[in-house]
């Protein structure tokens, strides 16, 4: 697996797995947690080591269970979780600390590789106060890197200007029809690695047809073309699948390169 070095110096695998419907009845985001690790175990068997979860997903403990079942060392994995951008977790220092400790306990680990503020809210000073608590956890080693999710340029820029520690990652929605080029370009310029959530979601039939045609040149699927496009522009991807075959396909991205002409076509979708 290829990696990118974050501005903290640690390496992050460029492909990970989303988990927001894993370990839940009927693979429904809002459903009851059933502790089923089937999709996580199959992903680990295929070679995934980067997993993205969150307090809001309610399944941090399911991810921990799968890692324990794998028999592999904790150090073999890159685990991301997220603090909700909600008053219960951001109202004051104690609330932030409670959230971080909740994640560490649920994931059965004494450190997390990456911890994100899941969503911004309309108070930059409060966001910064939350960030300062996360910085303390970095300095004591409990969080190896910290970042943000769904932040726009103003919100990210405020932390870049005021923080002791730069955000390492900005995780954003990015897929055909909503590439979010401006915030990706800004993040890259500032040394913040962009990461695409939902990279294979909401792809129109027309876009899928175009991508399938491009993929035909390489024996690749439309989904693999999307993921390769993101990687080639410096964006980490965290696709999610409950199907072992598709999980495998999402890893097979390193044996082809898109042409400049193809990238122009994809960018316009």
As annotated, the active-site residues are 57
Provide the pairing of β-strand 169-173 with 193-197.
parallel
Give the 3-state secondary structure of residue 93. Answer: helix
Contact residues for 17 (Cβ-Cβ < 8 A; gap 6+) = 40, 43, 48, 50, 51, 52, 238, 239, 240, 241, 247
- Under DSSP, the state recorded for 178 is B
Residues in the chain: 269
Alpha-helical regions (H) of the chain: 38-46, 60-70, 87-90, 93-106, 124-139, 153-162, 181-189, 205-216, 222-232, 244-249, 260-267
CA-wise closest residue to 217 among 264, 266, 259, 252: 259
Closest CA to 52 of 268, 234, 259, 199: 199
218 close to 249: Cβ distance less than 8 angstroms = no
Q: Which two tokens stand for residue 105?
A: 């306990």
């Amino acid at each position: 697996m290829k990696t990118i070095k974050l501005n903290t110096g640690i390496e992050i695998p460029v492909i990970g797995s989303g988990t927001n419907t894993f370990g839940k009845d009927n693979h429904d985001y809002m459903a009851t947690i059933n502790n089923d690790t089937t999709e996580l175990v199959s992903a680990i068997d295929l070679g995934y080591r980067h997993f993205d979860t969150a307090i809001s997903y309610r399944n941090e403990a399911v991810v921990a269970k799968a890692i324990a079942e794998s028999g592999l060392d904790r150090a073999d994995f890159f685990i991301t979780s997220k603090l909700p951008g909600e008053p219960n977790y951001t109202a004051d220092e104690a609330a932030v600390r409670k959230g971080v400790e909740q994640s560490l306990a649920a994931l059965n680990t004494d450190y997390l590789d990456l911890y994100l503020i899941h969503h911004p809210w309309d108070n930059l000073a409060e966001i910064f106060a939350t960030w300062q608590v996360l910085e303390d956890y970095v300095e004591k080693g409990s969080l190896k890197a910290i970042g943000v999710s769904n932040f726009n340029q103003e919100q990210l820029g405020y932390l870049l200007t005021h923080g002791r520690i730069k955000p390492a990652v900005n995780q954003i929605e990015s897929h055909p029809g909503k590439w979010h080029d401006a915030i990706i370009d800004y993040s890259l310029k500032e040394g913040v690695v962009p990461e695409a959530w939902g990279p294979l979601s909401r792809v129109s039939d027309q876009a899928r047809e175009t991508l399938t045609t491009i993929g035909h040149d390489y024996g690749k699927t439309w989904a693999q073309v999307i993921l390769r496009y993101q990687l080639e522009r410096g964006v980490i991807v965290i696709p999610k699948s409950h199907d072992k075959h598709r999980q495998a396909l999402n890893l097979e991205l390193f044996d082809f390169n898109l042409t400049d002409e193809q990238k122009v076509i994809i960018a316009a979708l």
